[in-house]
Chains A and B, each alone.
Chain A
Amino acid sequence: MAAEREPPPLGDGKPTDFEDLEDGEDLFTSTVSTLESSPSSPEPASLPAEDISANSNGPKPTEVVLDDDREDLFAEATEEVSLDSPEREPILSSEPSPAVTPVTPTTLIAPRIESKSMSAPVIFDRSREEIEEEANGDIFDIEIGVSDPEKVGDGMNAYMAYRVTTKTSLSMFSKSEFSVKRRFSDFLGLHSKLASKYLHVGYIVPPAPEKSIVGMTKVKVGKEDSSSTEFVEKRRAALERYLQRTVKHPTLLQDPDLRQFLESSELPRAVNTQALSGAGILRMVNKAADAVNKMTIKMNESDAWFEEKQQQFENLDQQLRELHVSVEALVCHRKELSANTAAFAKSAAMLGNSEDHTALSRALSQLAEVEEKIDQLHQEQAFADFYMFSELLSDYIRLIAAVKGVFDHRMKCWQKWEDAQITLLKKREAEAKMMVANKPDKIQQAKNEIREWEAKVQQGERDFEQISKTIRKEVGRFEKERVKDFKTVIIKYLESLVQTQQQLIKYWEAFLPEAKAIA
């Protein structure tokens, strides 16, 4: 019965399908308690933190006793799988359910990834939380690469096509490895679709890389110089990071538009992304209107959490921008250093040539060679500076803008609710007036309107609660991702610095005996 794999009930991917959370929530609570009683991971501390905190409105199981009775746990789990528990729908698990296979404790110690998926609560309902749970478990099982930029077409209609390769073991995809060709406007189109669906309900949708008219024009015109290759590489890397961030988001991963983007060989051209199109202009107008509105909305913030968070993000934004400026300066200076070192190397070689003392001449030539190698080193380091450190910072500056956008949506939502309340009040007043004036037909109309607006007020309140809840969760997830991202990238960057120093040591060690040999 149980372990049947059904496609997620995400017909048209409208988030409203997930709206009725009541059951899901409870369900999650109970699954959590199941987890507590039947832990299935050999790594107690990390497990709950990883899986549960993503859904922060669930209770946080702090202590999970795991050491004893592993075998029993599995026995229990196996039992649960076979049970057709009344409150739960048939069990669905992402992989061949580990609960079904007879497991010994040793297998539990196996790779973390495995344990993660094993730890995913075995019993779920197809609610949003559980899908996220599942996705969390599979989060390492989708890999996106953007590669092979190819110029298609000629002249001003030319564009760059990128190969998007997906490697995954997620069963929502028909194949485990596939690739498609996409152009930049396709990426923008994807983002615009996701943004229109998820932003206004509080999801932090990762922003797409920015357009660059200058850069693209150079490429179109066919300038085959280093700056256009650099531009293409920068864009390719940015697109890759964009997709990787998007698929990491459990809800967005489920979106059919995303899947279509990754999978289908043909994609309808997204014309609305062009800056000067009708849609583009509409976007600009809307942006301006939003900015004005933001200034006029005076929200009664009842929840200090939101105010605090907004302030924090403001601060973070400022600091990241400052850091970004410094890192960009470093990139620039390192490139300069590389160029100057190369020039010096040539000059030293010339000097070595004209030196008439043989040993010194040789040593100077060697010095020139060392400096040439060092200039290469500096260039590589400058790339690392840029692609790892600098781009990380600019990505996050844009992400924080998206976060701020989400907070703004919440404000708008509140405004809508507030407006509905005011209108309701007006309608009630109108009704009262009608009562006094004694106009029976108008009274009926008034009553209808009141009912209508009462419903709207209720909806507004619900929407507001919903978006607030979503934002809390999203911010929690975002912060976790941010911490992980920064740590990973910065450590990688430091490792690149380590490599540079190691190379430097090698080069100078080779040169030293040459210098000493001058007699």
Chain B
Amino acid sequence: MMEGLDDGPDFLSEEDRGLKAINVNLQSDAALQVDISDALSERDKVKFTVHTKSSLPNFKQNEFSVVRQHEEFIWLHDSFVENEDYAGYIIPPAPPRPDFDASREKLQKLGEGEGSMTKEEFTKMKQELEAEYLAIFKKTVAMHEVFLCRVAAHPILRRDLNFHVFLEYNQDLSVRGKNKKEKLEDFFKNMVKSADGVIVSGVKDVDDFFEHERTFLLEYHNRVKDASAKSDRMTRSHKSAADDYNRIGSSLYALGTQDSTDICKFFLKVSELFDKTRKIEARVSADEDLKLSDLLKYYLRESQAAKDLLYRRSRSLVDYENANKALDKARAKNKDVLQAETSQQLCCQKFEKISESAKQELIDFKTRRVAAFRKNLVELAELELKHAKGNLQLLQNCLAVLNGDT
């Protein structure tokens, strides 16, 4: 299969590689810099080489690398989520699982159908599918990298012990993927959480800021979900159309080489045009995917993380209110007052802590979001223009030649 992140067919140029660019305000300072310097794709897993450069005293060395797999990233993410201390922060969303199944299937089918097509067709399709595979590969690397960079940029999370272990410990973390029982537990936990979320969200918030944020995030999240799905479908159609150009080019080539009249030169030229224009159309589809679909997908996950934060805050608010009620009751009965008092105080502290950091987190979220959208929309427009101009040039050149010949 494909090994190594070679910069051979430069399907994704350097500028695109950095999905970390989606989050602009990353204080990538000397204190802690993380990136994924290499990745290897084996049978059914991907091995990422996480490379760290740090001047922090916590680490034994200034620069080091470890190899990590996707499950270890998930473990790290979950440890953040489960950590009560981080309840007041937007936990950077976990990277999606690397999914090469579709691509692998296609390559396999191609291998099986090798006998039924011409050598040129086969090579063409093989190149296409390999490029696709490479693109998916680069994307998954970028998404894992973004996650790490977000953590490294967060003033609190970057100090997390698990994070340091993740970065430094050069043995296998022995984090096995969740087994069936645990997955089932997760499923129920989620169900409970969403049910609870509904109940909790019914509680109106006194604070205007949070009330507004809640309404906003709810609607925003749903619409981003819809936009992301539609954008996906759009880019896929675009790709299908580009693939058709490929087949048309091949058919025209066959016509051109076998025609007995003087039209064969014509056909060959048009076939060439379709081949070239197809590459551009494929690029358009890939760029739209990267700048639009991926952007929306990422903010789908981020907005979910922000919603989770709000939920945690609401939850702690409810707990606080319940603790208040319990305290009143205890005072009335004059029983376990101290216990109730401490409990109430804890809840109050927790709630206030969350509220404070949540406010800042949500403001940061907005800033990040606006900046990311701006960057990506500008880049999208610029790329679309670049490709349209390239396409136009191709077409006009071809027409000039064809008109000159006839």
User: Hey, which chain B residues are within 8 Å of A316, CB to CB?
Assistant: 255, 258-259
Of the candidates B230, B366, B403, the one whose C-beta lies within 8 Å of that of A491 is: B403
- A window 323-377: CB within 8 A of B: 323, 326-327, 329-330, 333-334, 336-337, 340-341, 343-344, 346-348, 350-351, 353-357, 359-360, 363-364, 367
The CA of A354 and the CA of B382, in the complex, are separated in Å by 25
Task: Determine if B237 and A337 form an interchain contact, defined as CB atoms under 8 angstroms apart.
Answer: yes
Which one of B152-160, B316-324, B387-395 is at the interface? B387-395
A333 touches B385 (CB 8 A): no
Within 8 A of A (CB), among B216-265: 216, 219-220, 223-224, 226-227, 230-231, 233-234, 236-238, 240-241, 244-245, 247-248, 251-252, 254-255, 258-263
| Contact B227 A344, beta carbon cutoff 8 Å | yes
Cβ–Cβ contact B220 & A483, under 8 A: no
- Interface segment, one of A10-18, A174-182, A493-501: A493-501
Partner of A326, one of B244, B366, B402: B244
| Contact across chains for A341 and B402 when beta carbons are under 8 A apart | no
* Given A326-B247, A340-B234, A494 contacting B385 (CB threshold 8 A): no
With a cutoff of 8 Å between Cβ atoms, the chain A residues found around residue B402 in the complex are 487, 490-491, 494
Q: Mark B371-393, 1 if CB is under 8 A from A, else 0.
A: 00110011011101100110110
A501-519 to B contact mask, C-beta < 8 Å, 1/0: 1101100110110011010
The answer on a CB contact under 8 Å between A347 and B251 is no
Question: Chain B residues with Cβ under 8 A from A357's Cβ?
Answer: 366, 369-370
Contact check, A336 vs B237: say whether CB atoms are below 8 A apart.
yes
Q: B131 at the A/B interface (Cβ < 8 Å)? A: no
Interface size on B, residues (CB 8 A): 57
Q: Is the interface of A mostly helix, strand, loop or mixed?
A: helix
What residues of B have a CB within 8 angstroms of the CB of A501 in the complex?
Answer: 388-389, 391-392, 395
Contact of A497 among B237, B259, B377, B395 (CB under 8 A): B395
Q: Across the interface, which residues of B come within 8 angstroms of A323, CB to CB?
A: 248, 251-252, 255
Q: Is A198 an interface residue (CB 8 A)?
A: no
Q: Does B200 have its Cβ within 8 Å of any Cβ on chain A?
A: no
- Interchain CB contact (< 8 A) of A350 among B223, B238, B373, B381: B223
Q: Return the contact of B248 from the options A330, A350, A354 (Cβ within 8 A).
A: A330
Q: Contact check: which of B223, B231, B240, B388 meets A333 at CB < 8 Å? A: B240
A359 to chain B: which residues have CB within 8 Å?
A: 370
Interface status of A465 (Cβ within 8 A of chain B): no
Which of B237, B262, B380, B396 neighbours the largest number of chain A CB atoms within 10 Å of its CB? B237
Contact A494 B230 (CB under 8 A): no
> Within the complex, what minimum Cβ distance (angstroms) separates B146 from chain A?
20
Q: In the complex the two chains form, is B266's CB within 8 Å of A367's CB?
A: no
Please give the distance in Å from B170's CB to the nearest CB on chain A.
Answer: 43
**Chain A contacts of B129 at CB under 8 A?**
none
Closest to B236 in A: A340
From A333, A334, A341, A344, name the one whose CB has the most chain B CB atoms within 10 angstroms: A344
A107 CB within 8 Å of chain B = no
Interface string of B184-202 (1 = CB under 8 A from A): 0000000000000000000
Query: Whole-angstrom distance between the alpha carbons of A346 and B229 in the complex?
Result: 12
Asked if B305 lies at the interface with its beta carbon under 8 angstroms from chain A, I say: no
Which A residues between 432 and 466 are near B, CB-CB below 8 angstroms? Answer: none
A23 interface residue per 8 A CB criterion: no
* CB <8 Å contact, A482 and B261: yes
**Does A57 make an interface contact (CB < 8 A)?**
no
A89 within 8 A of B: no
Instruction: Judge if A50 is at the interface, Cβ distance under 8 Å.
Output: no
Q: Is residue B337 contacting chain A, with contact meaning CB distance below 8 A?
A: no
The answer to whether B230 and A343 touch across the interface, beta carbons within 8 angstroms, is yes
Q: Report if A264 contacts B (CB, 8 A).
A: no
Closest residue on chain A to residue B395 by CB atoms: A498
1/0 per residue, CB under 8 A from A, across B249-287: the answer is: 001101100111111001000100100010000000000
Instruction: Name A330's contact: one of B233, B234, B241 (CB within 8 Å).
Output: B241
**Is B175 interfacial (CB 8 A cutoff)?**
no
**When the two chains form their complex, are residues A505 and B388 in contact, meaning their CB atoms are under 8 A apart?**
yes
A315: interface (CB < 8 Å): yes
> Does B398 sit within 8 A of A, measured CB to CB?
yes
In the complex, are the beta carbons of B234 and A341 less than 8 A apart?
yes
With A487-B406, A490-B266, A491-B402 as contacts: A333 and B378 at CB distance below 8 Å: no
- A308 to B: closest C-beta gap in Å: 8
Q: Say whether A344 contacts B234, CB under 8 Å.
A: yes
B237 contacts A340, C-beta separation under 8 Å:
yes
- We find that the number of chain A residues with CB closer than 8 angstroms to chain B is 56
- Knowing A347-B227, A515-B377, the reply to whether A360 touches B370 (Cβ < 8 A) is yes
Q: What number of A-B contacts does a CB cutoff of 8 Å give? A: 158
Q: Is A322 engaged at the interface, CB distance under 8 Å to the other chain?
A: yes
Do residues A354 and B373 form an inter-chain contact, with CB atoms below 8 A? no
Would you give the shortest CB distance from A335 to chain B, in whole angstroms?
Answer: 9
Q: Closest A-chain residue to B385, C-beta based?
A: A508
- Chain A min CB distance to B67 (Å): 39
Q: Are A363 and B392 in contact (CB under 8 A)?
A: no
Inside 8 A of A336's CB, which chain B residues have their CB? 237, 240
Say which residue of A343, A353, A356, A512 sits within 8 Å of B381 (CB atoms). A512
In the bound assembly, the distance between CA atoms of A49 and B179 in angstroms comes to 80
- Which A residues are in CB contact (< 8 Å) with B406? 487, 491
Q: How far is the CB of B293 from chain A (nearest CB, A)?
A: 10
Judged by a CB distance under 8 angstroms, whether A312 is at the interface is: yes
Q: Which residues of A contact B248 (CB under 8 A)?
A: 323, 326-327, 330
Q: Is the CB of B385 within 8 A of A490?
A: no
Contact with A along B91-102 (1 / 0, CB 8 A): 000000000000
Q: How far is the CB of A516 from chain B (nearest CB, A)?
A: 6
Q: List, in ascending order, chain B residues with CB within 8 A of A495's CB.
A: 399
A351 near B244: Cβ-Cβ < 8 Å: no
Q: How far is the CA of A515 from the CA of B378 in the complex (A)?
A: 5
Looking at the assembled complex, report how far the CB atom of A260 sits from the nearest CB atom of chain B, in whole angstroms: 35
A377 to B241, CA, bound (A): 14
**Residues of chain B contacted by A363 (CB below 8 angstroms):** 373-374, 377
A498 touches B366 (CB 8 A): no
With A344-B234, A505-B385, A515-B381 as known contacts, state yes or no: A337 contacts B241, CB within 8 Å: yes
Q: Tell me if A354 and B216 are in contact (CB < 8 A).
A: yes
Give the CA-CA distance A501 to B284 in the complex, in Å. 12
- A contacts, CB < 8 Å to B: 312, 315-316, 319-320, 322-323, 326-327, 329-330, 333-334, 336-337, 340-341, 343-344, 346-348, 350-351, 353-357, 359-360, 363-364, 367, 479, 482-483, 486-487, 490-491, 494-495, 497-498, 501-502, 504-505, 508-509, 511-512, 515-516, 518
Q: In the complex, given contacts A350-B223, A359-B370, A508-B384, what are 10 additional A-B residue pairs having Cβ atoms less than 8 angstroms apart?
A: A326-B244, A333-B244, A351-B224, A351-B226, A356-B216, A490-B270, A491-B402, A497-B391, A498-B395, A518-B373
The 9 A-B pairs at the shortest CB distance, nearest first, are namely A337-B237, A323-B251, A330-B244, A518-B374, A515-B377, A344-B230, A326-B247, A501-B392, A347-B227
Q: 29 A-B residue contacts at CB 8 Å?
A: A316-B255, A319-B254, A323-B248, A326-B247, A326-B251, A327-B244, A330-B248, A333-B241, A337-B237, A337-B238, A337-B240, A344-B227, A344-B230, A347-B226, A350-B227, A354-B216, A356-B216, A479-B261, A487-B406, A490-B270, A491-B403, A497-B395, A498-B392, A501-B391, A505-B388, A508-B385, A512-B381, A515-B378, A516-B374
